[in-house]
Structure 1
Amino acid sequence: MIDAVAAFAMAACAATGQFGVDFFGPALAGFGPGLPPVWLGSSLGLAVGLLTWRRRQAPTVLLAGALTATALVSAQATVVLALYTLAERTMAWPKVAVSVLVSVVLVGTPIWRYAGADGAIPVTVAVCVAPAFLGLYVGTRRELVERIRERAERLEREQHQRVAQARSDERAQIARDMHDVVAHRVALIVLQATALESAGGEDAVVRGRQIGAIGREALAELRALVGILRSDDDAPITPHPGVADLDALVADSRRLGVPVTLSLEKETAERLPLLVEHAAYRIVQESLTNVHKHAPGARTRIRIRQTRQSLQVVISSGRGRPTTTPPLPGGRHGLLGLAERVHLIGGELTSGPTADGGFSLVAELPIAPGRNHDLTD
């Protein structure tokens, strides 16, 4: 709509040649007051109108047409619009400067002849220089606003990506914790229930009590985990289990008939980071769960060695005893969760079957990355 109105106004000025004739004086070609010839006015009006309509796409062409029209008739209004559009669209100082200089010569010369220097200088500045500076200001401001908008949109996209990544990491952490907390206890319950099927008398009562105790422990751990998820605080409700809790974990497996040996070696008395302790506990817990699932009764050895640089967890198990009960279901998420947990703290995890039909797992958990291995410093 604005372009249509501007095109009509500029076409009318060029066709009649009446805009500012008494003020600007005769045109460069010598046409004075009065209407230009019909053929000239109609041609210039049509051309200037079309160029004004397309001024945003071709501002340089509009300026050339406006200067041509100004040389023949009084069309300074079109020069004003053309210089403003050119400066606002290109924002290139050299191009704008050359355009202003040419416009000053073509527009200012007839005014100089008509009104002298006192009238030519301010009028030429108003017609040629002021519109160019205004166009440069508007174009620069528009570009600045556009850059600010693009930056805000980019920051918003990055924020959404960070939120999505945080949610994904949180879901993975919840999945690991749910697996670690629930799977181990449930596996023990199933194994106890299987043993209860073939037990009798007092042995059945003992098995039943053990199932109840394990179930209560699982419920307590599950409630604690749900409490952490529902809490708005960053700190957990209860401390995470660590290396000191491994004895109780191993004792549970021994009560189920799995011969487990645990050895702890320390080359330093430094306290382990909480993340490292918790990761070591979960590694042992998941390994014992897998032994119960896939190799019941297998002799298992757990060796934990602490140095100044790392905590090494080595778990090896032999071949389990034959069983007629169907194997416990497994989704292969346990080892994957352990690998993610270990990699999060910068460690390495390797696992795989052994030549004698057993299974081996080795985890290296860094304690102080980059510290010199020399124990004398």
Structure 2
Amino acid sequence: MTSPSSTPRWWAWKPSERRHVIIDSAVALACVIGTFVWSGPQQFAPDFGFPLLGSDNRLIASIPLALLTGAAAMVRRRKPVFLVIVSLASWTMLSAIAGVVFGLYALAAFETSRRMMAVITAIALVAVGFPFWRLGGFDASVPISTALCLAPTLLGLWSFTHRKLVGNLLERASRLERERDLLAEQARAEERTRIARDMHDVVAHRVSLIVLHAATAEVSGDRERLQLTKKIRSIGRDALSELRQVLEVLRVGDAPLSPQPRIEDIAGLAAQSRAAGVQVDVETVGEVRPLPSIVEQASYRVAQEALTNVHKHARNADTRIRMIHGPEEFRLIITNQRPPSSPAPDSLPGGGFGIIGLQERIRLIGGTLSCGATLNGGYEVEAVIPLPSTGTGS
């Protein structure tokens, strides 16, 4: 009894596999019919020896040759030379030309050795053109040989080149997509590592303050010790809150200790841009209150990248930075106007992953970052960062 796993399931084949089987079957059927029913010009036999077999033996030989030509046509993609050899034998013995036409096309389309293809095509030209040359001379042989041999060969060469070109383009597109995904993932990893370095500095700063206040409390009086204890509690709560937000992205390794940017430093960025020729206005809306250090650092990075993009791509267009302090969230909106002119050919290049890194940074602290063109032809970057509902204490 045949197991279900050993039963061929043609309906489960890929569409390309089914299409190849249908085409190969149609070509094989055409070769079988063409070889079987083709009797060839009768005048070839007495004058030129084509076909080699007489009319009495031709019917008997046509059956196995037709079946052999059809079988060769089924494997024409893997063995095109075999199909050409069998078809030339059918042409020589029976004057059957259908297999030669399909064989030369398959030879040019699927044979990788161009030298072998050229040699076999030349042999086919001689074999097909010789009886017509004997019958009608050069004027009859050239157009017939061109139509029967060179035309399918050229069509097969075009198919081979087109298939190779499409394959190369698909492979290149796939490789570029993999490289882009790799670069995007690398940008995210670098941004996570930078966040870890930032948090290293923040936590180190908080812990240093705790140690310093604790050491002072040891030698202070009761009243001053109570105040220092409240400060230690507040600092420790802030450190734990910030550490909890990015605990998943901390990396093991050394991190350079350097002062971390704050919200106030955005005004310094605007001043630097104005010194470079960009009109940058900074606007603060709402009740200003202390923000977590990680929120300030992320906001600074967003403003820094947005102003950098203005310099690169907007040719110093007028820009406005709005910092909106809300009760539950902090919004940072950077909007530049329509550039006065198109970017110069030698403008500063961009890696294309700055925004990806910022989106990853903002996402890890619970916020969102969006960017896009404005209706007046400018560009806008907006970061929305939720704020903790608990206070920091005193």
Moved over 4 A (4+): 22-28, 31-36, 193-200, 212-222
2-structure distance, mates of 1:36, 1:194 = 116
- Count residues with an aligned counterpart: 235
Aligned runs of 1:217-366 on 2, under 5 Å?
223-229=292-298, 233=302, 235=304
Pairing partner for 2:33 from 6, 9, 12 = 12
C-alpha deviations, 1:273-292, integer Å up to 9, x for none? xxxxxxxxxxxxxxxxxxxx
2-structure distance, mates of 1:68, 1:35 = 18
The residue type paired with residue 97 of structure 1 is A
Matched-pair contact (CA < 8 Å) for 1:108–1:121: yes
Query: 1:31: how far off?
Result: 5.6
Query: 1:89: how far off?
Result: 1.2
The residue type paired with residue 196 of structure 2 is A
Pairing partner for 1:62 from 83, 100, 105 = 83
Query: 1:205: how far off?
Result: 3.8
The residue type paired with residue 102 of structure 2 is L
2:84 is aligned with 1:71:
no
C-alpha deviations, 1:224-243, integer Å up to 9, x for none? 43244367835179xxxxxx
2:120 is aligned with 1:99:
yes
**Would the alpha carbon gap of residues 35 and 206 (structure 1) be closer, same or farther in structure 2, given more than 3 Å must change?**
farther
1-structure distance, mates of 2:181, 2:151 = 45
1-structure distance, mates of 2:130, 2:182 = 61
1-structure distance, mates of 2:170, 2:301 = 34
1-structure distance, mates of 2:296, 2:129 = 82
The residue type paired with residue 16 of structure 1 is V
Tell me, which stretches of 5 or more residues in structure 1 are unaligned? 238-377
2-structure distance, mates of 1:14, 1:143 = 32
Find the structure with the greater CA-based Rg: 1
Pairing partner for 1:165 from 181, 186, 197 = 186
**Would the alpha carbon gap of residues 24 and 152 (structure 1) be closer, same or farther in structure 2, given more than 3 Å must change?**
farther
1:112 is aligned to 133
The two structures have a TM-score, normalised by structure 2, of: 0.52
The RMSD of aligned alpha carbons is 3.4
Matched-pair contact (CA < 8 Å) for 2:50–2:95: no
Query: Percent identity, aligned pairs only?
Result: 35
Pairing partner for 2:69 from 33, 40, 48 = 48
Query: 1:50: how far off?
Result: 0.7
Matched-pair contact (CA < 8 Å) for 2:88–2:124: yes
1:153 is aligned to 174
1-structure distance, mates of 2:235, 2:27 = 85
The two structures have a TM-score, normalised by structure 1, of: 0.54
1:324 is aligned to none
SS of aligned partner of 2:126: helix
The residue type paired with residue 100 of structure 2 is V
**Would the alpha carbon gap of residues 56 and 91 (structure 1) be closer, same or farther in structure 2, given more than 3 Å must change?**
same
**Would the alpha carbon gap of residues 236 and 51 (structure 1) be closer, same or farther in structure 2, given more than 3 Å must change?**
closer
**Would the alpha carbon gap of residues 199 and 62 (structure 1) be closer, same or farther in structure 2, given more than 3 Å must change?**
same
1-structure distance, mates of 2:69, 2:305 = 75
Tell me, which stretches of 5 or more residues in structure 2 are unaligned? 1-21, 243-261, 263-289, 307-394
